[in-house]
A and B are shown apart, each in its own frame.
Chain A
Amino acid sequence: MATLPGIDGPRKPEGRGRPVDEREPELLAAVLAGDRAALDRLLRNHFDRIYALCRRLTGNDADGADAAQEALIAITRGLAGGRFDGRSRFSTWAYRVATNACLDEMRRRSRRPQLVGDEILAATAAPMAGVDRAVADRVDIDRALGGLPLDYRTAVVLRDLCQLDYGEIAEVLDIPTGTVRSRIARGRAALADRLGNPGTFSDRPTPRS
């Protein structure tokens, strides 16, 4: 497919951030055989991405760190307990575990007072003047993501941050691929609006709801 002017275009799976280690099957075999050094390497290979996933889903550093640590513990317990059956890629399984850990963390967080509804929208619309652009972007994205329904947020984070394909996301979230596609589209459209780049229109029909 040709890339059009002004559009970065489709991104291939080998894009940034996708952990790739050709020796991963060997590492996994060694981990399952009890090799602690192999476990250390396996976890290091994936931790940055798991942290990024948790950071994006929870919306702040502290909760992201807690969720990432809980996710790593859940992953290693799963490995020790034989719950990784090798039918999917390790990263897909790890993201599933991490996503669940994040959702647990967010449930715990939900007991604390939070901005809701219009307050979030107002905060989202507030300009970020006088701060470093990168920081402002990050805060903007946090706000924009935080305003998304959790279903949309999870789908776009797994796709655009973790680089999972639609089928893998469907497996992680245990939903049909068509639902994944719809959630990603709605999530991106809402993000584009909230980040101030709606394109020419954004209330286009989305056939599935």
Chain B
Amino acid sequence: MNPRPTRDPMHPDDEALSAWVDDHAGPEVVDHVTTCRECQARAAALASARDALGAAVTAPPPGLTERAIAAATTAWAEARPSETRQTPPPVSRAHAPVVDLATRRRSGRLVALGAAAAAVLALVAVSPLLDSDPPQQTAAQDQAADETSKAGESPAADSTGPMRTAGPETAGADLAESGAFRTRAGPDLGEVGDLDDVARAVRAGATPGAPAPAAEAAAPPNSIAAAAAPVNSACDGIVRARAATGEVGDLGLLVYAATLRYQGEPALALVYRRAEPPTVPGDDPPDRNGGPSPGANPAPGDVLFIVTSGDCRALAVSNL
């Protein structure tokens, strides 16, 4: 090693000069380095060490990238939860069956349950056609929703932050490429163990003044404020990606979001309008300009997803 001069407390130390190299130094160090040749030389040495390390990057050996990615992909496939590893076969978007992804292994029992649920939902879907006074009911809902939204307007959600369902207009532009729309934040649905109960609760919770049956015991009635737990906005993207590659197809507006515990897991109920909604008389298109939106309530033809609130893992999907 070369002999070195005695340390001089008047100079910045290596830590300060290294910080200068990284543009993290304070103004006094900057001023000093600007005028001190000795410190300039030392800073240059530190910078050269930095550059030597960065410049001597070697590419992976031939074949390593492919081997490593193949091994990692295999490990990923093995580590994925079994219920989400399987890719369901494509089916018609307009006739997507009720599928409980979390318990699909119990398919026989679920098929029976699903058939029963489909029958119930079909009746619900047809009922507006038989109802002599549906427009007034929808208008009343929308008026109430509009009043609620005026009381609790919130800015668009940050695309990187959690989406909060503190009010009925919290979805924000990051949740749909189509721009402004309304996502109704339902009350916390409480502990729900059955997909049909969730669907019923969502539908009931969509009507102001009608507390969700499943929420009555577990959460305060109509507790939109109680649904203020953060809703992971990443789930929206994940659900859309999964739907696009699976049986459901492209999704349109996210019209409803609520928290719940589904079969013991903290979860979200997300209701989407289909990108190409089936033609159902009386199912008005949503207003995408932010005004009162007849289409903002969950409606027949919408798709209900239940996902875990933490990592957005799909638990169940169903038609409303």
Contacts and interface: CB of A to CB of B under 8 A. Distances in A.
A86 interface: yes
Given A32-B238, A34-B84, A44-B65, A201 B7 contact: yes
Interface in B286-315: 310-313
Contacts of A119: none
B231 to A, nearest CB: 14
Interface string A29-43: 110111110011001
Interface of B: 1-2, 4-5, 7-9, 11-15, 17-24, 30, 33-34, 38, 40-61, 64-65, 67-69, 71-73, 75-77, 79-81, 84-85, 87, 234, 237-242, 245, 310-313
A55 interface: yes
Contacts of B54: 15-17, 160-161, 163
A183 B55 CA distance: 20
A10 interface: yes
A207 B13 contact: yes
Contact of A10 (B23, B41, B48, B73): B23
Interface of A: 1-2, 4-12, 15-17, 25-26, 29-30, 32-36, 39-40, 43-44, 47-48, 51-52, 55-56, 61, 65, 68-69, 72-73, 75-77, 79-82, 85-86, 137-138, 141, 145, 156-157, 159-161, 163, 166, 181-182, 184-186, 188-189, 191-193, 195, 197-208
9 closest Cβ contacts across the A-B interface?
Answer: A10-B23, A199-B45, A76-B76, A185-B18, A82-B311, A199-B42, A80-B79, A191-B49, A29-B237
Given A10-B21, A77-B79, A181-B18, A202 B241 contact: no
A24 to B, nearest CB: 12
B23 A2 contact: no
A66 to B, nearest CB: 10
A189 B45 CA distance: 8
Given A185-B14, A192-B49, A204-B7, A2 B84 contact: no
Given A4-B33, A29-B237, 13 more contacts: A4-B34, A7-B43, A10-B21, A34-B84, A75-B72, A138-B56, A166-B24, A181-B18, A188-B50, A189-B14, A199-B44, A201-B7, A202-B14
A29 B313 contact: no
Given A61-B61, A82-B311, A160-B53, A204 B73 contact: no
B68 A68 contact: yes
Contacts of A208: 15
A10 B23 CA distance: 5
